[in-house]
C-alpha cells in the first residue's frame, strides 16, 4: 500500500476514492473499503482512501475531541490489511480548515487527486465550517462530469448503527463483545516493546511494556489478551497473556497510562519487537493496593482467571 502525505499538482492516473477519518476501521468502514476496491477494479484504476492527521476535532476543539480508537500507524496497518492501494493523508491545519467546499471539490478532488469515482457516507460534510454536503457534491459531479459519486448508507449490526462513537462507548463500559461485533474483530492496540522499570520481573511476573501512541486509551483495566507479532518476526505468531492498561496507582504517581502484558510460558527477550495486543475479556478495573505483596497476590489471581478463560473459550483470535 502506498502512503502519500503530499498530493501531486499533476496526478499521473485517476483514482477511485473514499474519504473519512476511519478511526478504528470498523465494519462500516470495511464495507466502504470493499465497495471502493470493487469500483476501482471495474474501472481499472487504483483504490484510495483520503484521511486526515490530526483528527479535525483534535485540531479545532482539543478538549472535546473524541478518544482515538487507533493511532495513525494502527489505522494504516488496518487499511493495508484491507487491500487498499493507496492512502492520501492530508495534514489538518489552519490552511486546510479554511478551504471552502467549492475549492475542495475543484482543487483537491479534481486537480490534485484526479478522482474519477467517489464514495462518501450519507452524513458526509466537507469544506470550511462544514458547509459542503452530499447534495452539493452530487450536483457538482453531475454538472462538471469529472467524477461519479455514490452515497453509502449507514451500516448496522443487529439494529445498532456501527460508528466509532458506539465502539468507544462499548470499550469504556467494558463491553468487549459489543466492540468486537462492531469492529468485526477484537479491539487491539499495537506498539513496540520498550524498556520498563522491571517491577513485574522483580515480583515474578515479567511484562512486555508496549509503547502507547494513545494519549487517552479508550479502555482501562485488567484484561485477558492474545498477542500477535509481525510476520517477519522470530516470535510465535500468537501468544496469550494478561494485560494491565492503566496508571498503576499502587506503584506510580505520574498518572500516565501504561500497557503492560504478561505472556504465559514465555521467556525470550523481545525489546524492540512490534506487537499487537487483542483485548478479549475484561477481568476487573484497576485498583490501588496497600503494598506489593497484596498486588502480587492479585496478579496471581488475574493470571489464574485468564488461563481459566482460555480453557473455556473456543472462539479466539486466529
Q: Same structural domain for residues 121 and 250?
A: no
Given a cut of 90, is residue 98 above it in pLDDT? yes
In the prediction, which pLDDT does 232 show? 63
Domain with 118, as residue range(s), is 12-157
Quick check: 162 and 182 in contact, CB under 8 A?
yes
**Is residue 288 in some structural domain?**
yes
Q: State the total domains in the chain.
A: 2
Q: Per the domain annotation, does 175 fall within a domain?
A: no
Mean pLDDT (whole number) for 143-165: 94
> What pLDDT score does 168 carry?
96
Residue 73's pLDDT is what?
93
Q: Could you tell me if 193 and 262 lie in one domain?
A: yes
Distance between CA atoms of residues 143 and 72, nearest Å: 36
- 124 and 245 assigned to the same domain: no
Please report, rounded to a whole number, the percentage of residues in the chain having pLDDT higher than 90: 75
* CB-CB contact of 229 with 235 (8 Å): yes
Instruction: Supply the CATH number for residue 256's domain.
Output: 2.40.30.30
For residues 119 and 229, state if they share a domain.
no
| Interval 269-312: pLDDT, tens | 888 899 999 999 999 999 999 999 999 999 999 999 999 999 98
Asked whether the predicted pLDDT for residue 12 surpasses 80, the reply is no
pTM higher than 0.95:
no
Long-range Cβ contacts of 154-163 (<8 Å, 24+ apart): 154/28, 154/121, 154/122, 154/123, 155/27, 155/28, 155/31, 157/27, 157/181, 157/182, 162/26, 162/27, 162/28, 163/26, 163/28
**pLDDT bucket at 250, cuts 50 / 70 / 90:** confident
Weakest-pLDDT range from 129-133, 200-204, 213-217, 271-275: 200-204
Would you say residue 173 has pLDDT above 60? yes
| Residue-level pLDDT at 318 | 45
Amino acid at each position: 500500500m502506498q502512503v502519500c502525505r503530499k498530493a501531486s499538482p499533476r496526478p499521473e492516473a485517476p483514482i477511485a476514492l473514499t474519504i473519512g477519518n476511519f478511526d478504528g476501521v470498523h465494519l462500516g468502514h470495511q464495507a466502504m473499503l470493499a465497495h471502493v476496491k470493487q469500483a476501482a477494479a471495474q474501472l481499472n484504476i487504483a483504490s484510495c482512501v483520503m484521511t486526515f492527521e490530526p483528527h479535525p476535532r483534535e485540531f479545532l476543539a482539543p478538549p472535546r475531541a473524541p478518544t482515538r480508537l487507533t493511532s495513525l500507524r494502527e489505522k494504516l496497518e488496518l487499511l493495508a490489511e484491507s487491500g487498499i492501494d493507496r492512502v492520501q493523508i492530508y495534514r489538518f491545519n489552519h490552511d486546510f480548515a479554511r478551504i471552502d467546499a467549492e475549492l475542495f471539490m475543484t482543487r483537491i478532488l479534481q486537480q490534485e487527486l484526479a478522482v474519477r469515482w467517489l464514495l462518501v457516507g450519507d452524513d458526509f460534510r466537507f469544506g470550511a465550517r462544514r458547509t459542503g454536503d452530499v447534495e452539493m457534491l452530487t450536483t457538482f459531479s453531475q454538472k462538471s462530469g469529472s467524477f461519479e459519486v455514490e452515497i453509502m448508507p449507514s451500516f448496522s449490526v443487529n439494529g445498532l448503527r456501527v460508528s466509532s462513537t458506539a465502539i468507544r462507548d462499548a470499550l469504556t463500559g467494558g463491553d468487549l463483545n459489543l466492540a468486537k461485533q462492531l469492529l468485526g474483530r477484537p479491539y487491539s492496540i499495537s506498539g513496540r516493546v520498550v524498556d520498563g522499570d522491571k517491577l513485574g520481573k522483580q515480583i515474578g511476573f515479567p511484562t512486555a511494556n508496549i509503547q502507547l501512541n494513545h494519549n487517552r486509551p479508550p479502555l482501562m483495566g485488567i484484561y485477558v489478551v492474545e498477542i500477535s507479532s509481525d510476520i517477519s518476526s522470530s516470535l510465535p505468531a500468537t501468544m496469550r497473556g494478561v494485560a494491565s492498561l492503566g496508571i498503576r496507582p499502587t506503584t506510580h504517581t505520574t498518572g500516565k497510562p501504561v500497557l503492560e502484558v504478561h505472556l504465559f510460558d514465555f521467556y525470550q527477550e523481545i525489546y524492540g519487537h512490534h506487537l499487537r495486543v487483542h483485548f478479549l475479556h475484561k477481568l476487573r478495573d484497576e485498583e490501588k493496593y496497600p503494598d506489593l505483596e497484596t498486588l502480587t497476590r492479585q496478579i496471581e489471581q488475574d493470571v489464574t482467571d485468564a488461563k481459566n478463560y482460555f480453557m473455556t473459550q473456543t472462539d479466539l483470535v486466529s
